[in-house]
Amino acid sequence: MWRGQRVAVIVPAFHEERWIELTVRGIPDFVDLVVVVDDASRDDTMGRAARCGSVRLVRVRHACNRGVGAAIVTGYHHALRLDAEVLVVMAGDAQMRPHDLPALLDAVVVDGADYAKGNRLVHPTARNMPRLRRWGTRSLALLTRWCTGLDIGDSQCGFTALRASAAIDLPLSELWPRYGYPNDLLALLAHHGASVVDVPVAAVYAGAKSGLHAGHLLSIASRIVRRAWSLRQAAPRLPAETSTERRRRLQHLA
């Protein structure tokens, strides 16, 4: 637990047999639950994860590849059913530094944010990011800010912490399953009035090359605009649940 809150770390993984053990073993002891979601890898990702032998480890495998966003949603649902109160995402490629996790958790548990998102661009290690990724991240953050009104500096960072009570307010099953998932989630959080904050985190590249290219940038930008437009056309939201109603719904999910 972290400051009395039950913490789950969701680890989406696809072809990560090289890094998954390092990722899982590096997750701090105060984390209560580790949910590894293998998105139909054809390598030994799931077998390598199992070698960690931790009682807190839950392994889930998609029968077919559905995308990183879908893997994260699967992890969220499992963590909610197991009574997690804060849902963290750490990718399976060892590119998220475990000792940055307390700052993300404190932003939610202590400061009261609904969603804390890592910002690599304001960290001293920002220059570690490949140039295209750094440029693309800044551009997509600018578009995301314009479409959502959120003060976000690094919209693409996957190192995040989400309050469980905020998660159950969202239509998680409707989220974009592939590239563009972080932006889609930010748009929905903004639409639901959730508080979102940036937290500086290290930019780590453990021997991996950036997979971001111009096609991805265009696809993500298109997704951001489409989601923003659809939310503006949506019917007004119903009044927010009371804390008691929200707690009952979370208990029902568990």
Q: Left if phi > 0, otherwise alpha if psi is -120 to 50, otherwise beta: which for 53? A: left
pLDDT at 86: 98
Above 80 in pLDDT, residue 223?
no
What pLDDT, on the 0 to 100 scale, is given for residue 217?
64
Sheet with 33-38: list strands edge to edge.
57-61, 33-38, 7-13, 86-89, 160-163, 115-119, 196-200
Query: Amino acid identity, residue 37?
Result: V
What's the pLDDT at 170?
94
Q: Give the model's pLDDT for residue 132.
A: 80
The pLDDT confidence band at residue 239, using thresholds 50, 70 and 90, is very low
33-65 confidence digits (pLDDT tens): 999 999 999 999 999 999 998 899 999 999 999
Does 2 fall in a domain?
no
Within the chain, what is the greatest distance between any pair of CA atoms? 49
What is the total count of domains within the chain? 1
Question: Is residue 18, in this structure, part of any structural domain at all?
Answer: yes
Q: Which structure tokens are listed for 56?
A: 């807190």
Mean pLDDT value of segment 158-174: 95
For residue 1, tell me if it sits in a domain: no
Average pLDDT over residues 23-35: 97
Report the pLDDT averaged over residues 181-210.
Answer: 86
Q: Is the pLDDT of residue 161 over 80?
A: yes
- Asked if residue 29 belongs to a domain, the reply is yes
Q: Which residue has the higher pLDDT, 135 or 41?
A: 41
User: Which tokens in the block code for residue 182?
Assistant: 């972080």
Residue 118 lies in a domain: yes
- Mean pLDDT, residues 214-235: 68
Q: How far is CA 109 from CA 7, 52, 184, 191, 254, in A?
A: 10, 28, 24, 22, 20
What is the band of 215 on the pLDDT scale with cuts at 50, 70, 90? low
CATH number for the domain spanning 37: value is: 3.90.550.10
- The pTM (predicted TM-score) of the whole model is 0.86
Domain range for 223? 7-253
Distance of CA 110 to the CA centre of its chain: 19
CA distance between the termini of the chain: 18
Confidence category of residue 167, pLDDT binned at 50, 70, 90: very high
